[in-house]
Chains A and B, each alone.
Chain A
Amino acid sequence: MLKKMALATVATVAMVGAAEARDRILLAGSSTVAPFAQIVVERFNNTTDFEAEYNTTGTGGGFRLFCGGVGDDFTDFSGASRAIKDSEVELCGSNGVTDIHEIQLGFDGIVVANSVDGPAVELTTEQLFAALAAEVEVDGEVVANPYTMWSEIDASLPEEEIEVLGPPPTSGTRDAFVELVMEEGCESFEAIAALEETDEERFEAVCATMREDGRFVEAGEDDNLIVQRLEANPAAFGIFGFSFLDQNLDKIQGSVVDGVEPTFENIASGDYPVSRSLFLYMKPQHIGDVVPAGLQEFVTELTSEATFGDEGYLVDAGLIPMSAEERAAVREAVLAYFQ
């Protein structure tokens, strides 16, 4: 019996040594990009003789892997729900990743929605800021947020307690919401806008800090969970990606923001104010060397009209497409590496 045990241990340890050469394309990054990148990966794996995989690490985690260096162990593409930061470009550079190519896939709308059993509302970024910021302007003074009811902010809003479920700070959706709604909305208030001149740090803090008195609830990364909680509580609102509204139109309704309804057409045309770009970043240094074959086929698939075009399969999955000219430019730029 002891002999058998020893053998088992040796066998397990021996397997550790057997590392393999890379035969597949590695993608990692944002969980917002994941649903779209994964569809491309699946199509690619099923319709070519090559293979790819997508690892959901979050935008920041994806760049840490991507910028780790050039070689077998490092990813070829990084999915990001925001543009790459300067600090990340520096990190890449210090590890020898000197060439980073940005491929924009399209847009993703962020919606404010509630249950279909609740009232349909029209909001402005200003009202959203007043409802959700830690500090707001009341009578020319910047004070801790006193609002408890929507109707206190504006008489046109429902007489309901403010309760908004949204993503946590680690989420790209949260970053985008703060940038596109909160930082826009706060500039409509004179006393806060005046801070920009006098005390810029304070201005930024006031604009970007969500309230923490329980009226804004961090509901986790899982948007499905928010949808379920909205269904259970018609008085609550939620903040999440457009594709979750699109899939659950029988349960929830999107609020009008700044006079624009969150529909596919309005987000695509850029009329709806709360939308952000989704990217895949490519490492051209891997072409031909680290990944011997398949990269060209992958980017061809990725940037074909059947993928991210007006009627492409990513659009069916909830991605908002760019204009035809933008798509052509993206395609041309990335395929130039393979000529």
Chain B
Amino acid sequence: MSDIAEPTPMGIAQATAGHRDIHQTPEAIARRQRRYRSEARFKYYGIAGIAAAISMLIVLLVSIASESFSAFTQTFVTIDVNIDQATVDPNESGDPAVIGRASFQTLANNTLYALFPDVSDRRDRRALRALLSPGVEFELRRRVMDDPSLVGQTISITVEMSDDFDQLHKGLIDRTLPEAQRRINDLQLSWYDQLVSEGLIETQFNWRFFSGANSRYPELAGIWAALVGSLLTMAVTLGLAFPIGVAAAVYLEEFAPKNWFTDMIEVNINNLAAVPSIVFGLLGLAVFIQFFGMPNSSPLVGGMVIALMTLPTIIIASRAALKAVPPSIREAALGVGASKIQVVSHHVLPLAMPGILTGTIIGMAQALGETAPLLMVGMVIFITSIPSGFTDPSTVLPVQIFSWAGNPERGFVALTSAAIMVLLTFLIVMNALAIYLRKKFERRW
């Protein structure tokens, strides 16, 4: 406003005579240019803000992606293992109970001793055993249990190398460091080099990362169990929060009278949306687990806790979507004789559904990344099996990331980042789905 010339009598006269003139005085031009400059500055501030946000996002993504990179491959070594009858089943009983208790570790060890016959010192033999992952033992046991006829034969298997050698093969261990600062000593390096020169070591895609359950050995750890846990938890959350949330929104928007009581409810719902998630976790622990005695660490309890947390988001989004349906739709339906419930279920709800779904998906995406309340209900659990139901103990993706980040072994650094990548992928897919639904079904009046 201050940019407009002082209304002197002279000015008014000029304005009526030739209004261009007052805009062409040197003062007016200077003012205008100042205004343009400030507008440009304002624009640059905005651009700078976006650039800062994007560069931070890029730094985050690049650092996670570059660290996660090495987790998607795994170093394998191919060895010939003699399934020695005397070690596995000395009495040739063929009894699975006997075979199951056999020391398959010994078989793998004997293979290594045969590959490097010069190694006889006890300490060196221990260093030699460190080449292979303990997964060898599990794999051998599984194969022999599946096919007992293997006993007495020599089989060629391709198995994971241990974490340290996996890191070495990926170039993450500096060979030039003094021996004391390496987890792999010079002797082990020479064995490794020999295996490489014989072409026994190869790098494969790490399928186990996507299909396996958790493990304390980085080379054997996978996220499938956590992913299944997340899906089960999300199913419970969706099953509870969606119908309850939509029903609450429909009632509040379409049926409820406007009085102090419904105002109270509205204020409380908005407050609930801002309650820190850990509070819901404590509530879940006290009410669902301790009072109702529901199973600890289960997707059922986890999902219920997350449902409480997601409920306000869904109610608020659903109410906004219902509000956006124009009153003329309701009036038209009522006008042709529809009942109130028919108006809502035949017309208003279907029209509001894209908005409701968008809100729900965004709420679910938030819930997928939730960690704190799930720690409270015991979902930071170590299990080595894939959960098969809602009451099985299980963990979820973000909690798995949290647990892996605390493990000492070097390989877990990459696994942690890789799990974050998987979680981010799911979040992007869910948010993209929300945008797609909105674009496809959205109506404008």
Given A6-B243, A48-B100, are A56 and B381 neighbors across the interface (CB < 8 Å)? yes
The interface bits of chain B over 169-183 (1 if a CB of A lies within 8 angstroms of the residue's CB, else 0) are: 000011001001111
Interchain CA distance A56-B385 in the complex, whole Å: 17
**Interface hits, A183-236 → B, CB 8 Å:** 221-224
Least CB distance from B340 to A in Å reads 13
Q: Are B381 and A16 touching (Cβ within 8 A)?
A: no
Q: Are B407 and A35 touching (Cβ within 8 A)?
A: yes
- Please tell me the number of chain A residues within 8 Å of chain B, measured between CB atoms: 52
Q: Are A247 and B409 touching (Cβ within 8 A)?
A: yes
Interchain CA distance A19-B100 in the complex, whole Å: 31
The interface bits of chain B over 72-115 (1 if a CB of A lies within 8 angstroms of the residue's CB, else 0) are: 00000000000000000000000000001101110000000000
Q: Are B243 and A57 touching (Cβ within 8 A)?
A: no
Q: Are A244 and B408 touching (Cβ within 8 A)?
A: yes
Question: Does residue B414 face the partner (Cβ distance < 8 Å to A)?
Answer: no
| Chain B residue at minimum C-beta to C-beta distance from A45 | B384
Interchain CA distance A46-B136 in the complex, whole Å: 11
Point out the residues of chain A lying under 8 angstroms from B141, CB to CB.
Answer: 46-47
Q: Are A316 and B130 touching (Cβ within 8 A)?
A: yes
Q: Are B177 and A250 touching (Cβ within 8 A)?
A: yes
- Please tell me the number of chain B residues within 8 Å of chain A, measured between CB atoms: 57
| Chain A residue at minimum C-beta to C-beta distance from B383 | A53
Q: Are B243 and A223 touching (Cβ within 8 A)?
A: no
Question: Does residue B405 face the partner (Cβ distance < 8 Å to A)?
Answer: yes
**Interface hits, A111-128 → B, CB 8 Å:** 116
Interchain CA distance A241-B407 in the complex, whole Å: 11
Interchain CA distance A42-B126 in the complex, whole Å: 21
Interchain CA distance A15-B349 in the complex, whole Å: 28
Question: Does residue B400 face the partner (Cβ distance < 8 Å to A)?
Answer: no
Point out the residues of chain A lying under 8 angstroms from B410, CB to CB.
Answer: 247-248
| Chain B residue at minimum C-beta to C-beta distance from A36 | B216
Question: Does residue B296 face the partner (Cβ distance < 8 Å to A)?
Answer: yes
Question: Does residue A78 face the partner (Cβ distance < 8 Å to B)?
Answer: no
Question: Does residue A333 face the partner (Cβ distance < 8 Å to B)?
Answer: no
Given A16-B294, A16-B300, A56-B381, are A224 and B405 neighbors across the interface (CB < 8 Å)? yes
Q: Are B409 and A1 touching (Cβ within 8 A)?
A: no
| Chain B residue at minimum C-beta to C-beta distance from A15 | B390
**Interface hits, A28-67 → B, CB 8 Å:** 31, 34-35, 38-39, 41-43, 45-49, 51, 53-57
Question: Does residue A306 face the partner (Cβ distance < 8 Å to B)?
Answer: yes
Given A38-B382, A42-B384, A53-B382, are A31 and B296 neighbors across the interface (CB < 8 Å)? no
Given A306-B105, A316-B130, are A41 and B384 neighbors across the interface (CB < 8 Å)? yes
Interface-centre pick from B181, B239, B247, B383 (highest chain A CB count, 10 A): B383
Main secondary structure of the interface of B (DSSP, over half): loop
Question: Does residue B244 face the partner (Cβ distance < 8 Å to A)?
Answer: yes
Q: Are B406 and A9 touching (Cβ within 8 A)?
A: no
Q: Are B215 and A9 touching (Cβ within 8 A)?
A: no
The interface bits of chain A over 296-334 (1 if a CB of B lies within 8 angstroms of the residue's CB, else 0) are: 000000000010000101001110000000000000000
Q: Are B378 and A55 touching (Cβ within 8 A)?
A: yes
Pick from A6, A20, A55: contact of B295, CB below 8 A: A20
| Chain B residue at minimum C-beta to C-beta distance from A228 | B413
Interface-centre pick from B239, B349, B350, B403 (highest chain A CB count, 10 A): B239
**Interface hits, B278-316 → A, CB 8 Å:** 292-297, 300
The interface bits of chain B over 160-201 (1 if a CB of A lies within 8 angstroms of the residue's CB, else 0) are: 000000000000011001001111000000000000000000
Interchain CA distance A224-B405 in the complex, whole Å: 7
Least CB distance from B19 to A in Å reads 62
Interchain CA distance A248-B173 in the complex, whole Å: 11
Point out the residues of chain B lying under 8 angstroms from A34, CB to CB.
Answer: 382
Interchain CA distance A6-B246 in the complex, whole Å: 11
Q: Are A9 and B244 touching (Cβ within 8 A)?
A: yes
17 contacts between A and B (CB under 8 A): A6-B243, A16-B292, A19-B391, A47-B100, A47-B137, A51-B385, A54-B382, A55-B296, A56-B380, A73-B293, A221-B406, A223-B408, A224-B406, A247-B410, A250-B181, A250-B183, A306-B105
Task: Enumerate chain A interface residues (CB-CB to B < 8 A).
Answer: 1-2, 5-6, 8-9, 11-12, 15-16, 18-20, 31, 34-35, 38-39, 41-43, 45-49, 51, 53-57, 73, 116, 221-224, 241, 243-244, 246-250, 306, 311, 313, 316-318
